[in-house]
Structures are given as C-alpha cells and as structure tokens.
Structure 1
Amino acid sequence: LSGKLAPELLGAIAVAAYSYMALVPLIQPPIMKALTTEKERKIRMVQLRTVSKREKILFPAVLLLLVALLLPDAAPLLGMFCFGNLMRESGVVERLSDTVQNGLINIVTIFLGLSVGAKLV
C-alpha cells in the first residue's frame, strides 16, 4: 500500500514494521502478565486428538485453494507459508526442508535487510 501511496516512505515504514516484529518477544510478556491471572497462565492445554498425516498434508492445499479463490492478491504470500508447511509435513524432502529451516532463512534475512536498507537511500 505504501509503495503506491507514498513510495518515498516505503523504506522507513519497512524499518518500523520489522523493528516492531523484532520487539514483539519483549513487548508481549508484560502485556500478557497484565491481562491474565497467574492461575490462567498456569493452565496446561491438552491435545484433544492426534492429527493424522493426511490432514497435515491436505490442510495447506485446501487453505491455499480457498485463499486463491477468495483473496487472489494474498495467494503468493500464503502460498509460501503453505509450501513450507507441506515440505515439513510430507517428509519427502527432508534435506531440503532442513536447509530451508536453518541455512536459507539466514541468507534470506540478510538479503531482506539489504533490500530494506537500500530503500532508505
């Protein structure tokens, strides 16, 4: 949205957004403590049923299909989340999934930082 309305502010908005996301682990705990009692925080959730492998594999596919039909502009972003989930749950591409979860995420983070920094110039 800012790329169309105020492209000159895109870099600053991106830095503010990523800074906020990085600070969520510091901001969230005091808010949660203030809004809940100690008894509520000690509640342990139990899993009601085990989710089958078929459900874990079908969920991203069905979700992506629904999003592509209802919100086509959001399909590429959600498609990447679904693809990552599908890679992890299928177990077929174990090495690729491990690489994406560990090494590749660091490289992508560096490139993201460089591209956001380049927008500030």
Structure 2
Amino acid sequence: MKKVEIFDPAMCCSTGVCGPSVDPDLTRVASAVYSLEQKNFDVTRYNLANDPAAFTDNKEVNQVLHEKGADALPITLLNNEVVKVGNYPTNDELAKWLDVKADELQQKPRVAVPIDFN
C-alpha cells in the first residue's frame, strides 16, 4: 500500500483549520486527507509545532530543511520519497499517486458541535 506523509509548518492545531481566517488550501488538504483516511489509505500529517521529532527523524525531510530552511514546508513524501516541496499536493496529485478519482477527495468531516443554552 502506498504511503503519503505531509510535513506541515508550525500551526496552531493539527490541521491548521482553526482561527478567525482559515487558508482555503488547508481546508482542502484536511478534507482530502480525511477522505483518504476514510478509504483506509495510509496518510499522515505532521505539524512542526506538535511533532518536531518526526521532522528530525526523517532523513529526507531533514535534508530538505537543511538545504532550503523552513520555507520549504510543507513537504510531501510518497513512499518515503520527497514528491513536493513548498506547497501542498493538489487533489489531482493525490488522486494520481493513490489511484483514486480527484472528486473522491472532497468529503467533509462531520463533527458534532454541542450547544449549551445555559
């Protein structure tokens, strides 16, 4: 099975989809990753703020960061090989890499939001 790893820059939360102004690209990536996870694909995101060891322990990511600095983030690996640096993968790229249709990557997570009227 193919494995995709996305190494994100430091963000306030695991997806970066929080706060008053959300980058639409982060929303798209979060939806794509969620959709792939629902189909049992091996997709992992690492946030520099929360998972610094993942960045230092991965030889390929560490090398890119030493050569280009933190501006190289996000970095995407496919089967432990760097396939994209400096931008998130498009839905078309993810679809091609994982042999799925791009329109299958737009499933939105459904989250129950409690409402407290007290």
More helix by share: 1
Given the two structures, how large is their TM-score scaled by the length of structure 1?
0.23
Given the two structures, how large is their TM-score scaled by the length of structure 2?
0.24
Higher RCO structure (Cα 8 Å, ≥6 apart)? 2
More strand by share: 2
Radius of gyration: which is bigger? 1
